[in-house]
Structure 1
């Protein structure tokens, strides 16, 4: 701390504390701004991705319906219609059950969204302040 007052003397403790408080306040504000920007950007990407995924899912459902109809028609060639529909229905419900169980496992494992860059930056800032305080005490 080589800063000097107007009269050439080193800054007083109260001036140093005031400067530190102002710098910490600015740092916290900047970190919050960074976190807000990061979450906004991630939210925009998630929104676009979700919309595209929703459209793909709708088209996929139409295709799946046609595929299931084809399966029933093909089975109807060798089995009674009611049995063909029953077989296809059981297969569809079994697949739905497996998908539901896998989805439940994935949701449990998912972590809440966190602004990881802002958290890492804040942790580095805290460590820097701690190191500076330790160095200040030892000198």
Structure 2
């Protein structure tokens, strides 16, 4: 036996090379922290991490809300354009009817053609505006990540 003592062999086995049930080394950083940090340090770390997480979630919600507001603004602008087009349609149709009844000549028919063009423009803008407003999705990523917070705080499960 090359200098091996029974006490040395026992120490080697206790370190994890021979005894079943004895963990050779902490397998995760969380286990090392659990063994070395005080409860106060753990709570401080938890509160720091939680406040960082909540701050990031708020920033994500703000970014998504800004994007949704821009999309809503574009849709509202197109609907406003449709409203102006509708107003001009009524204006030109009224003028066309007036001129057509008053003169029975070409000026009235010209006004009808202009009014029809404005009616087509109003219909296109209204369709595009409605499509833009229907495409708004709200805050999908924020809803998803906020839903992940409670399982993360569950102490019975290991988080990645």
Q: The residue matched to 1:134 in structure 2 has which SS?
A: coil
Matches within 5 A, 1:102-113: none
Match of 1:124 among 144, 148, 158: 148
CA displacement at 1:58 relative to structure 2: 0.9
Taking the aligned partners of 2:32 and 2:88, their CA distance within structure 1 comes to: 72
Taking the aligned partners of 1:119 and 1:60, their CA distance within structure 2 comes to: 39
Q: The residue matched to 1:133 in structure 2 has which SS?
A: coil
Taking the aligned partners of 2:97 and 2:156, their CA distance within structure 1 comes to: 73
Shift in alpha-carbon separation, 1:4–1:120, aligned structure 2, 3 A: closer
CA displacement at 1:119 relative to structure 2: 2.5
- How many positions carry a matched residue from both structures? 94
Match of 2:156 among 131, 134, 138: 134
Taking the aligned partners of 1:67 and 1:49, their CA distance within structure 2 comes to: 27
Residue aligning to 1:18: 44
1:32 aligned onto 2:85: no
The structure carrying a bigger helix percent of its residues is 1
Matches within 5 A, 1:1-139: 1-4=30-33, 10-67=36-93, 115-129=139-153, 132-135=154-157
Residue aligning to 1:88: none
CA displacement at 1:63 relative to structure 2: 2.0
Residue aligning to 2:15: none
Which ranges in structure 1 are unaligned for 5 or more consecutive residues?
A: 77-112
Q: Which runs of 4+ in 1 moved over 6 A?
A: 68-74
* TM-score (ref. length: structure 2): 0.47
Taking the aligned partners of 2:157 and 2:71, their CA distance within structure 1 comes to: 43
Taking the aligned partners of 2:67 and 2:151, their CA distance within structure 1 comes to: 27
